[in-house]
Amino acid sequence: MTAFMTNLNNASESKREEFLAATEKKQLVLVETLAAEASGQQILVDYLQDYKTNSSEVFSKYGAVNAVAAKAYQSLYSLQTEATQAFLTDVFPTGIVPLKSDLDVDYLPLQKLLADQKFLEADKLNNLKLCELAGEASLARKWIYFTEVNGLPTTDLRTLNALWLAHSNGKFGYSVQRELWIAGGRDWVKLWSKILWKDGNVWTRYPGSFNWTLDAPRGHLPLTNQLRGVRAITSLLTHPAWE
């Protein structure tokens, strides 16, 4: 082995040790740096392989999976290289989030849209999944009554929430909206302004005026229709899934 290769391997091992020893906050920053080069990508691959081997796939609070694993997965997925896609397909065939459902609802199409960062399409499908969970009447009308929300399974709501969290660096999801709502004294006007669903007295127009990228503010997505008032979103954000 040449001195150059030895130095390269030593540098790679040093990065690996730094990443594994870092705090979660530091690891989240390092993921972006590692994903930018081949040796770093291998470190993330090894990390995810170890995560898969040792993970019990048990939901944590609000259904969220490990934030570092989620970001590592999304970073590798976004590269769209043959090697990373082959690894992720083999080790995580349905994504980083366990797609659990008490009603056998298929969340794989939503997972794929979110992994592809197609947030507008994902938001539409998310709404349909809520309707599917609520029943045939809700599916037929394509929107959900607030009285149907409490009957939604906790497991499924946490799966939906975990998918949004995992593929947005923790930026989107019902638990994020709930956090912001409670922090603002459960004041809806404050929340609308905070997540840019309203600008002053003007509601944000759907779909063109919403931000369907990660440049959107925290809690911007997923959407909940406000044409029928705040009862549906109140029921969503006070659902037992978040207790």
List pLDDT tens digits, range 97-133: 999 999 999 999 999 999 999 999 999 999 999 999 9
Q: Which residue in 56, 152, 175 sits closest to 102, CA to CA?
A: 152
Task: Write down the pLDDT at residue 61.
Answer: 64
Q: What is the residue-wise DSSP string for 165-194? A: HHTTTT-SSHHHHHHHHHHTTT-HHHHHHH
Superfamily designation of domain 108-242: Gun4-like (1.10.10.1770)
pLDDT for the residue 8: 44
- Whose structure tokens read 């705040």? 230
The distance from CA 166 to its chain's CA centroid, rounded to whole angstroms, is 3
Least Cα distance to 177 among 113, 239, 99 occurs for: 239
Query: In the prediction, which pLDDT does 227 show?
Result: 82
Low-confidence stretches of the chain (pLDDT beneath 70): 1-11, 56-62
User: What pLDDT shows up at residue 64?
Assistant: 85
